[in-house]
A and B are shown apart, each in its own frame.
Chain A
Amino acid sequence: MPAIATLTILSPGLYTLLVDRGRPRTRSLGVPVGGAADAFSLALGNALVGNPPDAPALEVCLSGPVLCADEDLACVLFGAPFELNAGGRRLAAGKTFTLLAGEELSIHGTSERARAYLCIGGGIDGPEVLGSRSSLQPVVAGAELPCRRGTIMSRFLRSSFEWNAEPGVLRFLPGAQAEWFSEDRLTGQEFTITPASNRMGLRLHAEPLGSSEREIVSEPVCPGSVQVTRDGQCIVLGVDGQTIGGYPKIAQVIAADLDKLGQLRPGERARFRRVSVEEAEDLYRRKRRELQEWLVRLYVAERRKER
């Protein structure tokens, strides 16, 4: 019988959220997809501690939480290279570790990218809402999260992958109102991620794409939709973005690149590159294959170790 442990949040950090793969089937109710902003990192973090790829984990953003548990826990922080330590020990992102009972785990900041996933062997429990354990609110100080006791041998996975060779390049298909704008304006300049960005969307700043007084009747949008506001600036919708919108859409970031949106941080720059539907689908399949190969490798290694 698995032993129950409690993970306590001592300090919540900037925006720490329990996430899994979210709710892809609730858009028609006006409920955003939600879930991990970088699902690729969530899957690999989970695999490192022997969990299914979609197990609930804590997403940390830019400045992490301080936590402690009443039992030993098998942990990894996977994604952006946050600095972290537990007790007096300096730990490394991407490397599994056992958090000892009573030890304080501090997740600090990261010099690059924005988000990482604290995955715990056996997963972290939370209430299921509309088929997902992704929370609608970030954790607060004093919150107690049920999880499983465990220990783990040290293993490491670097966070660099073929699909993500160019993290600052967002590949796109034309949006529904693309012809209202000049595509050169979108592809010919760099866009700066502004501090007003969050899980709902990245607000970009660049030379205005041209302003349009025309409005559209609200129509469905989704993560990756690039909306142009009245002042000619772009908002790229994120996983918590609204489900319908009335701004014209110049572009739609392809599915293979949605995880990049979760790792762009304020001050960083991004570029847009147009692809065809066929290329988009091929890039998605290649990324999917790369993920599967890593998952298989990690699960096989896990089983060898157990034998």
Chain B
Amino acid sequence: MQPLGDQAVLIHFADENDALQFAAVVRRDGPPWLVDVVQAYASVAVFFDLDQTGYAAVAEHLRQLQDALSRQPDSSTSAAGRLHDIPCCYELQLDLHRIAEHTGLDAEAVIRLHTEDVYTVYAIGFCPGFPYLGYLPSPLCGVPRLTTPRTRVEAGSVGLTGRQTGIYTEARPGGWNLVGRTPLELVNVADGYFPLRTGDRVQFRRIDEAEFRRLQGERLA
């Protein structure tokens, strides 16, 4: 537990699940000075209102929540994340060849492995609503970022690098290897539409180009 300046307390946990659980506990506890809880992988930042409290009081409160959690591990929050089925068209890829080359797998095997596992949203960031999903099955791990990032990656593009996969929720420059594309709208900032949250689970489902066109612009069910 350490200060993230005088605006937040930053806590590192042993693993991603502990961090998820703790973030859920703090949100549910909802003290009046709470401004936001941001989780990324095994770390959690708890932002507080400086007009109402200070670092020492917040750190003490969080320590008590941590103690309570360690005495009685919260089984309800570990399963609290929603499961999302996200259609992905692997024909609309740009880097399948590169991924196949780096992993030594053929394209079909890459697609099969990518759709096989259920991923967890370990962080949201980079751009509004961008879910960092982990972790890839080991044969798919270790593909480095593109040497020269693309100046524009279209919204819906599904990328992977290292141990992670993720979805570009808005068009952005980006350096991940693009394995496919989802037709769904996964973020609408103006509408406050953010269906994916940290702790949710995601599984990709293979669709063809006709299905992609049919679903284009629809929202996550």
* B126 and A220 form a contact (CB under 8 A): no
Is A123 an interface residue when CB atoms closer than 8 A count as contact? no
B45 and A217 contacting across the interface, CB-CB below 8 Å: no
Asked if residues A30 and B130 are in contact (CB atoms below 8 Å), the reply is yes
8 Å CB interface, A279-295 against B: 280-281, 284, 288
In the complex, are the beta carbons of A277 and B42 less than 8 A apart? no
Shortest Cβ distance from B51 into A: residue: A288
A245 to B42, CA, bound (A): 13
Q: How near does chain A come to B166, taking the closest CB pair, in angstroms?
A: 11
**Chain B residues near A4 (CB, 8 Å)?**
none
Q: Which residues of B are found within 8 Å of A26, using beta-carbon distances?
A: 36
Q: Which of A148-156, A161-169, A184-192, A251-259 touches B?
A: A251-259
Residues of B within 8 A of A208 (CB): none
Residue of B5, B124, B190 most packed against chain A (CB within 10 A): B5
Instruction: Tell me whether A24 and B126 are in contact (CB under 8 A).
Output: no
> What is the distance, in angstroms, from B163's C-beta to the closest C-beta of chain A?
10
In contact, B51 and A255 (Cβ under 8 angstroms)? no
For A29, the chain B residues whose CB sits under 8 A away are 124, 128-129, 194
**Residues of B1-31 whose CB lies within 8 A of A:** 2-8, 10, 12
Interface string of B52-93 (1 = CB under 8 A from A): 001110000000000000000000000000000000000000
A244 contacts across to B, CB distance below 8 A: 38, 40, 123-126
In the complex, are the beta carbons of B50 and A284 less than 8 A apart? yes
B4, A252: Cβ atoms under 8 Å?
Answer: yes
- In the complex, residue of chain B having the shortest beta-carbon distance to the beta carbon of A256: B6
Interface mask (A211-222 → B, CB under 8 Å = 1, otherwise 0): 000000111111
Q: List 27 A-B contacts (CB under 8 A).
A: A26-B36, A27-B47, A30-B124, A30-B125, A30-B128, A130-B192, A176-B4, A176-B10, A217-B42, A218-B40, A218-B123, A220-B4, A220-B8, A220-B38, A220-B43, A242-B126, A243-B124, A244-B123, A244-B125, A245-B125, A252-B5, A254-B5, A255-B5, A277-B56, A280-B5, A281-B54, A284-B50
**With an 8 A cutoff between CB atoms, is A160 at the interface?**
no
Indicate if A111 sits at the interface (CB-CB under 8 A).
no
Residues of A near B130 (CB, < 8 A) are 30
Task: Tell whether, in the assembled complex, residue B50 and residue A255 are in contact, meaning their CB atoms are under 8 Å apart.
Answer: yes
The answer to whether the Cβ of A64 comes within 8 Å of any Cβ in the partner chain is no
Q: Contacts of A242 on B, CB cut-off 8 Å?
A: 125-126
CA distance A30 to B131 in the complex (A): 9
B38 touches A27 (CB 8 A): yes
Tell me whether A31 is interfacial, beta carbon within 8 Å.
Answer: yes
Q: Is the Cβ of B38 less than 8 Å from the Cβ of A28?
A: yes
Q: In the complex, A172 Cα to B50 Cα: how many Å?
A: 16
Q: How far is the CA of A224 from the CA of B10 in the complex (A)?
A: 14
Let me know if A296 is at the binding interface, CB within 8 A: no
Docked Cα-Cα span, A288 to B54, in Å, equals: 14
